[in-house]
A and B are shown apart, each in its own frame.
Chain A
């Protein structure tokens, strides 16, 4: 209900109570299998539950009544809220939990709100994973002012956060472009950029409006916070196909003309506002908390329940827990007052160590969060990792860039690296190396109904004393969009992704869709390694071959093919030598595929070579590249007798067409390669002997004259 004129104070207070809905469920599986038995909003972020940041943020904004909608693991959320300060009489705001397992999307939640008609005035809609220190006062006021002008048209205000396009906190999932009116802040177009999209289209109509300037912004990320008018839930009921927020925004923008609803936006600039919606953002937001961007929601300031204001029944104040508090040391190191650090242990930068954790001697810890009650023995190295509560790490283990959940035991000499995820209660080791593995121990009823005894664990993968299963990405994920997104697992920001996208894009022209996605999935996870380089080469070869094949079949101009090959070359960062060898091989393979039998082989080959003559000339300009080309031919010839037999003719042809110069051929002849397959390099030389002799004679004749 829009506030009336401020006449009576009592009346005013009744109406100005600000209410909010927290959706404590993501309705997706980004964190699976970690979220199998734990809701995302209870993930510890710098050792405090994520939900407490959200509620605290709302309380700070002056929200008096919060409805928490929970679905997955609703009991845990309820229990948490029941024992937290939010359910105590001293709580700054009333928190009501609404549980239903029937909700499958945000749309369902809003339809439920409509059914219960919870709100008569404006309210906030907030996902249960927001971390922010922003004051939404401005956004609320702006919304109110707009609503006062016209009660029905302004529907809601999106709260967005500005961050540069290369910002760490941006991921593929929140890659949006927004067109808005710079004066009224009205959102005209909202587009979420899909994974492989390279062009964004805007409806022409938005530029033809006469009022104000139009801004198109790519420096915004969606915080998921909406200031909603009471009509919003109704619209969800009317359009029962709306599932996500995105559906709704799109629906409203498309139907704007005849329904007259408008969406506005408010950009948070000064303050911090981010969401935790996948592993990468968990990493980024944790860091931001440690770097104090979220001040005053930082580890050493109690805002959680550690410090509870408890009143006895008789009104006297009962004792306050001072037992848990962090102290901040230099370089953003937060040590809990009860944690123990062994001798010669080094705690470098940006570390949080939780309540009652014990660190052994000579450990090295940096850029990590260690939860409550962890026990880390001597000589361990922990970097860029997150350890939740009650994790045991035996001596001489190394944990890099990994994510370790509650009650995990890591035995001696285990090395975790590059995005390992160990779910609750997993045991690994001793002396095993794990890289980019997800290990879980969910007694999944469907797949393994039997009680898991030690024998059923694959000890070669999780170590002799290990308990846990490797989780494969594709097993459990439903076959929808999630699948494509689930690959953005750990440590992949938009920036990284764009780099990869560039590579993938250049291959798009010649490569089939399938190949791109598989290549992309593989290269997502791995650091640059030798394996990768090898993959690159084979991918490159494949691409070039396909380009040429198509070029031959469709008789494409060689100039265009050169461009294509060059772009592939840069995409995979190949040397000139690789390119030449690849081309040589590809052409021969194409010819081999075309020809029916041995007799017609040279004819087809000649045709192919003549067609690609400009291309060959282009790449074989220098002597060294010609030499590379010759060796490539030789390499191919040793394994293909067919070709070896016609090699002399090929040489003749290329010599006549000025692709190869005689000096190079002679040089090649004098230095046989070490190829050996069906026939040896020496035999190859014997096969072209006549041609060489002819060349030498021709040269002598030349010099004679």
Chain B
């Protein structure tokens, strides 16, 4: 065969182009994975500031994953999200918000898929015996159709959800007026951004007194008290041990939470259980503030067996200085610094989220709306 010079050149150039394109793609992919792993590393190193920040970071990460990875259909996408989700959860097993975000995104993918197929949303949600028997598609075929618009609609829905999260603190704070009345005495523990916003919102219209429990050994209560006092709210700081003594004059206890378990129990800052018990003893209502993304599928019994996943035992240096702790007379003393408390649902009066107030016994219902049952196990 005879190739003209031009043609030969053309082929070489094209090949070069392919090669370079391939290399570029690989490089991009490598860079991308590096970035993603950087995120996992950040998670491990606790480079996040509170659970809201964490949720925001996780969902943004997942959004990038959806847009940057190649997938043919919803099932593959869900596989990708699941795999990444597993790693994220393993990086910080005690932060349930990560799992929540992953499940939430999976649910969004399912919803969008069903919507694009033109079926009602309810169809996707409810699992009934009748449907299981009559359903034409098997589990394998489900979500296998490739839909062009899926990527854009999923991205849109995720962005929408992010907006919803953005507004959650504001939505919760907006309900403050309904719960805090004039001249009431409110007790809170530690520092929660939601509680802070809630109290400040109420202070715009009402005058009330806040008692802040300091929350040793982290003493985040001090920060909250300073912030409230700067906002002209009458504030008192008490030690953790004084909770019971002070409870008799308190009208309401308002606390934030790290996450809400499926039974309506709380995983909250250590010391919250004492506060809840004291409130229960004095028949003071206990109001818990938390956005919907803090709601998780776990039951206390699922995790109670292992303190590693439920509680986080931090380094004891806040309780006892290592400077002293290693000396001869103290070397056999065990020092613990648990970060969380479990508050059983019986002690919680009301749970206020961005969609309104609910009793803890209603949590299971909200959960079934938020997450798809097939995603319970990642």
Which residues from chain A sit less than 8 Å from chain B, CB to CB?
59-60, 89-90, 92, 133, 162-164, 166-169, 219, 269-272, 284, 288, 291-296, 300-303, 307, 309, 311, 315, 317, 320, 322, 326-332, 349-350, 493, 495
Among B45, B307, B325, which residue has its beta carbon within 8 angstroms of that of A60?
Answer: B45
A-chain residues with CB within 8 Å of residue B323 when the two chains form the complex: 162-164, 167, 219, 269
Judged by DSSP, the binding face of B is: helix
Nearest-CB residue, chain A, relative to B327: A166
A-chain residues with CB within 8 Å of residue B337 when the two chains form the complex: 292
Q: Could you tell me if A292 and B315 are in contact, using CB atoms closer than 8 angstroms?
A: yes
Q: CB-CB contacts of B183-220 with A at 8 A, as 1s and 0s?
A: 00000000000000000000000000000000000000
Task: Decide if B301 is an interface residue (CB 8 Å cutoff).
Answer: no
Q: Could you tell me if A495 and B326 are in contact, using CB atoms closer than 8 angstroms?
A: no
Q: How far is the CB of A298 from chain B (nearest CB, A)?
A: 8
B-chain residues with CB within 8 Å of residue A292 when the two chains form the complex: 313-316, 337
Q: How far is the CB of A174 from chain B (nearest CB, A)?
A: 13
Q: Could you tell me if A328 and B313 are in contact, using CB atoms closer than 8 angstroms?
A: yes
Among A271, A294, A320, A329, which residue has its beta carbon within 8 angstroms of that of B86?
Answer: A320
14 extra A-B contacts, CB within 8 A, seeds A322-B90, A493-B328: A89-B34, A92-B38, A164-B324, A164-B326, A167-B323, A167-B326, A293-B322, A294-B315, A301-B44, A307-B90, A309-B87, A315-B29, A320-B87, A327-B309
Task: Decide if B13 is an interface residue (CB 8 Å cutoff).
Answer: no
Q: How far is the CB of A356 from chain B (nearest CB, A)?
A: 19
Q: Could you tell me if B331 and A272 are in contact, using CB atoms closer than 8 angstroms?
A: no
Q: Could you tell me if B315 and A166 are in contact, using CB atoms closer than 8 angstroms?
A: no
Q: Could you tell me if A169 and B315 are in contact, using CB atoms closer than 8 angstroms?
A: no
Task: Decide if B317 is an interface residue (CB 8 Å cutoff).
Answer: yes
- Which 10 pairs from chain A and chain B are nearest by CB? A295-B315, A90-B37, A328-B308, A167-B326, A168-B326, A166-B327, A300-B308, A327-B306, A317-B83, A315-B29
Q: How far is the CB of A459 from chain B (nearest CB, A)?
A: 39
List B6-64 residues whose CB lies under 8 Å from chain A. Answer: 29-30, 33-34, 37-38, 40-41, 44-46
Nearest-CB residue, chain B, relative to A166: B327
Q: A309-B87, A495-B328 are in contact. Are A133 and B315 (CB under 8 A)?
A: yes
CA distance A302 to B44 in the complex (A): 9
Q: Could you tell me if B308 and A326 are in contact, using CB atoms closer than 8 angstroms?
A: yes
A-chain residues with CB within 8 Å of residue B86 when the two chains form the complex: 320
B-chain residues with CB within 8 Å of residue A89 when the two chains form the complex: 30, 33-34
Task: Decide if B334 is an interface residue (CB 8 Å cutoff).
Answer: yes
B-chain residues with CB within 8 Å of residue A322 when the two chains form the complex: 90
Size bracket of the B interface? 35 or more
List B111-135 residues whose CB lies under 8 Å from chain A. Answer: none
Task: Decide if B283 is an interface residue (CB 8 Å cutoff).
Answer: no
Q: Could you tell me if A329 and B40 are in contact, using CB atoms closer than 8 angstroms?
A: no
Q: How far is the CB of B270 from chain A (nearest CB, A)?
A: 15
B-chain residues with CB within 8 Å of residue A295 when the two chains form the complex: 313-315
Nearest-CB residue, chain B, relative to A170: B326
CA distance A301 to B248 in the complex (A): 42
Q: Could you tell me if A311 and B315 are in contact, using CB atoms closer than 8 angstroms?
A: no
Q: Could you tell me if A90 and B33 are in contact, using CB atoms closer than 8 angstroms?
A: yes
CA distance A329 to B84 in the complex (A): 28
Of A162, A271, A294, A296, most buried by chain B (CB within 10 Å of CB) is A296
Nearest-CB residue, chain B, relative to A90: B37
B-chain residues with CB within 8 Å of residue A327 when the two chains form the complex: 306-309
Q: A293-B315, A309-B87 are in contact. Are A92 and B37 (CB under 8 A)?
A: yes
Q: A296-B44, A317-B83 are in contact. Are A90 and B315 (CB under 8 A)?
A: no
A-chain residues with CB within 8 Å of residue B37 when the two chains form the complex: 90, 92, 309
CA distance A349 to B334 in the complex (A): 9
CA distance A166 to B30 in the complex (A): 51
B-chain residues with CB within 8 Å of residue A296 when the two chains form the complex: 44-46
Q: Identify 26 residue pairs between A and B in the complex whose beta-carbon atoms are under 8 Å apart, listed by A's number.
A: A90-B33, A92-B41, A163-B326, A167-B326, A168-B327, A291-B335, A292-B316, A293-B322, A293-B325, A294-B315, A295-B313, A295-B315, A300-B308, A302-B90, A309-B37, A309-B87, A317-B80, A317-B84, A320-B86, A320-B87, A320-B90, A322-B90, A327-B309, A328-B308, A329-B307, A332-B334
Among A293, A300, A493, which residue has its beta carbon within 8 angstroms of that of B317?
Answer: A293
Of A162, A271, A291, A327, most buried by chain B (CB within 10 Å of CB) is A291
Among B87, B307, B327, B334, which residue has its beta carbon within 8 angstroms of that of A164?
Answer: B327
Among B38, B90, B322, which residue has its beta carbon within 8 angstroms of that of A163?
Answer: B322
CA distance A294 to B325 in the complex (A): 14
A-chain residues with CB within 8 Å of residue B34 when the two chains form the complex: 89-90
Q: Could you tell me if A303 and B83 are in contact, using CB atoms closer than 8 angstroms?
A: no
CA distance A166 to B40 in the complex (A): 40
Of B84, B87, B314, B322, most buried by chain A (CB within 10 Å of CB) is B322
CA distance A243 to B26 in the complex (A): 46
Of A92, A133, A162, A349, most buried by chain B (CB within 10 Å of CB) is A92
Q: How far is the CB of A166 from chain B (nearest CB, A)?
A: 4
Q: How far is the CB of A153 from chain B (nearest CB, A)?
A: 31
Q: How far is the CB of B249 from chain A (nearest CB, A)?
A: 37
Q: A309-B37, A326-B308 are in contact. Are A303 and B44 (CB under 8 A)?
A: yes
CA distance A471 to B330 in the complex (A): 35
Q: Could you tell me if B315 and A272 are in contact, using CB atoms closer than 8 angstroms?
A: yes
Among A167, A272, A328, which residue has its beta carbon within 8 angstroms of that of B307?
Answer: A328
B-chain residues with CB within 8 Å of residue A495 when the two chains form the complex: 327-328
Q: How far is the CB of B261 from chain A (nearest CB, A)?
A: 19
CA distance A311 to B87 in the complex (A): 12
Q: A92-B38, A315-B33, A317-B84 are in contact. Are A291 and B90 (CB under 8 A)?
A: no
A-chain residues with CB within 8 Å of residue B83 when the two chains form the complex: 317
CA distance A307 to B46 in the complex (A): 17
Q: How far is the CB of A519 from chain B (nearest CB, A)?
A: 23
A-chain residues with CB within 8 Å of residue B334 when the two chains form the complex: 291, 331-332, 349-350
B-chain residues with CB within 8 Å of residue A331 when the two chains form the complex: 334
Q: How far is the CB of B92 from chain A (nearest CB, A)?
A: 9
Q: How far is the CB of A379 from chain B (nearest CB, A)?
A: 26
B-chain residues with CB within 8 Å of residue A293 when the two chains form the complex: 315-317, 322, 325
Q: Could you tell me if A271 and B90 are in contact, using CB atoms closer than 8 angstroms?
A: no
CA distance A33 to B323 in the complex (A): 33
Q: Could you tell me if A271 and B45 are in contact, using CB atoms closer than 8 angstroms?
A: no
Q: How far is the CB of B41 from chain A (nearest CB, A)?
A: 5
CA distance A326 to B93 in the complex (A): 12
A-chain residues with CB within 8 Å of residue B38 when the two chains form the complex: 92
A-chain residues with CB within 8 Å of residue B335 when the two chains form the complex: 291
CA distance A302 to B34 in the complex (A): 19
CA distance A293 to B318 in the complex (A): 10
